[in-house]
């Protein structure tokens, strides 16, 4: 087919040459041009189906990965509602950080670091216990968000 599109006419195959090529493709069997084209279309169709299946499997793996990450970042009940397409009207996210923690921990014994962290976070947990919030662990620490109650 590529040869048939050559710009110079002398570089294009003749009808007899094309017929001979089709004959060699069919290995000497008597088949029509339409049969040959149908076989090529079937082969092309099967290749497309295989490619679609492969891409669908890749998409499913990525969807599962995204779902796992979502469920690690927010409560499962919130993730399920969001997956259904419900819009969240209000969410508050609190991130905490201890300024200079890297330097303090480098200069302290492990038990001192535990003591340093234990006091403020126990107090923080006590405050959270008296409010309608949930704690969510994400890379870097524990974070609190209000439970999912308001949706539109």
The pTM of this model reads 0.39
Residue 88: DSSP 8-state = B
Region of residue 30 (phi > 0: left; psi between -120 and 50: alpha; otherwise: beta): beta
Q: 128: which residues sit within 8 A by CB, 6+ positions away?
A: 135, 144
> Cβ–Cβ contacts within 10 Å for residue 117, how many?
14
List pLDDT tens digits, range 34-77: 777 777 888 888 889 999 999 999 999 999 998 888 777 777 77
Q: Is the pLDDT of residue 138 over 60?
A: no
Q: Give residue limits of the domains in the chain.
A: 1-30, 32-73, 87-152
- What is the C-alpha separation between 89 and 79, in angstroms, rounded? 14
Q: Is the pLDDT of residue 114 over 60?
A: yes
Q: Mean pLDDT throughout 107-130?
A: 85
């Amino acid at each position: 087919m590529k040869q048939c599109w050559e710009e110079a006419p002398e570089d294009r195959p003749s009808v007899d040459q094309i017929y001979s090529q089709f004959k060699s493709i069919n290995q000497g069997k008597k088949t029509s041009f339409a049969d040959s084209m149908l076989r090529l279309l079937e082969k092309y169709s099967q290749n497309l189906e295989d490619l679609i299946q492969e891409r669908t499997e890749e998409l499913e793996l990525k969807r599962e990965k995204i779902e796992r990450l979502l469920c690690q970042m927010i409560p499962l009940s919130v993730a399920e509602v969001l997956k259904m397409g419900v819009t969240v009207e209000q969410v508050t996210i609190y991130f905490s950080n201890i300024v200079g923690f890297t330097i303090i921990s480098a200069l302290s014994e492990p038990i001192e670091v535990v003591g340093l962290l234990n006091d403020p976070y126990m107090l923080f947990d006590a405050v959270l216990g008296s409010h309608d919030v949930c704690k969510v662990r994400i890379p870097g620490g524990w974070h609190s968000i209000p439970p999912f109650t308001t949706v539109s």
